[in-house]
Amino acid sequence: MDQQETYTTHCVWQPHSDHTLAMDCSDPRFPEARHEFLTRHCKVSRYDSIFVPGGPVTSTLANAFCYVDQERIRMLHSLHTFTRVIGIAHFDCGYYKHHHLSATHADLQKHQITDLHNFRDTMASLTPGAHVKVYHTGPNPDNFIEYRRIF
Ligand SMILES: [Zn+2]
């Protein structure tokens, strides 16, 4: 007979939503900083999250994967009525390095900024009524991760 494994967290069930969508890259170097940024700076804890390689850019491209992401965002917006969308791109993103092989860090950041503008325009269509804020993140000179608002 198999023994069932159960783990009970210290979290109490909270049924409400903060009506916020956070879209970020899935890079494993940022989850703790992202959670701190979202909860302490943005004051949201019950946010919908889409964390995929590349983050916000994936909702803006015209391919099958992006179409699925766009449909998921529309569905989540219809369920949770987003009032806020937070898009985050990060320093040294593997998605951008993969798609722009010989680009410098500065060139990659320029691509990210262009994509973040497209993200804002895409979210205006997918989540009408939601205020979109966009950030770029990475280590500061003291090696602490900081989030800089782009717009
Ligand atoms: Zn990334």
Per DSSP, what are the bridge partners of residue 137? 90, 147
Residue 57 and residue 95 in contact, taking contact as beta carbons nearer than 8 Å: yes
Q: What is the pLDDT of residue 119?
A: 95
Mean pLDDT of 29-54: 96
Comparing 65 with 29, which gets the higher pLDDT?
A: 29
- Near ion ligand 1, which residues have CB within 5 Å? 25, 27, 93, 95
Distance 110 CA to ligand 1 centre (A): 15
Examine the pLDDT at 1 and tell me if it is beyond 60.
no
Q: What is the pLDDT of residue 69?
A: 83
Distance 91 CA to ligand 1 centre (A): 8
CATH class given for the domain over 20-149: alpha beta
Mean pLDDT of 13-36: 96
Distance 126 CA to ligand 1 centre (A): 22
| pLDDT tens for each residue of 60-103 | 877 766 677 899 999 999 999 999 999 999 999 999 999 999 98
Domain locations along the chain = 20-149
Joined tokens for residue 6: 């159960």
**How much is the pTM?**
0.92
Joined tokens for residue 114: 């262009």
Percent of the chain whose pLDDT exceeds 90: 86
* Strands 131-139 and 145-149, sheet pairing: antiparallel
Distance 59 CA to ligand 1 centre (A): 14
Distance 129 CA to ligand 1 centre (A): 28
- From residue 51, give the alpha-carbon distance in Å to each of 10, 58, 87: 24, 10, 10
Distance 46 CA to ligand 1 centre (A): 23
Examine the pLDDT at 27 and tell me if it is beyond 90.
yes
Distance (Å, whole) CA 1 – CA 149: 54
Return the SS3 of 131. strand
Examine the pLDDT at 113 and tell me if it is beyond 70.
yes
Q: What is the pLDDT of residue 61?
A: 79
Distance 1 CA to ligand 1 centre (A): 43
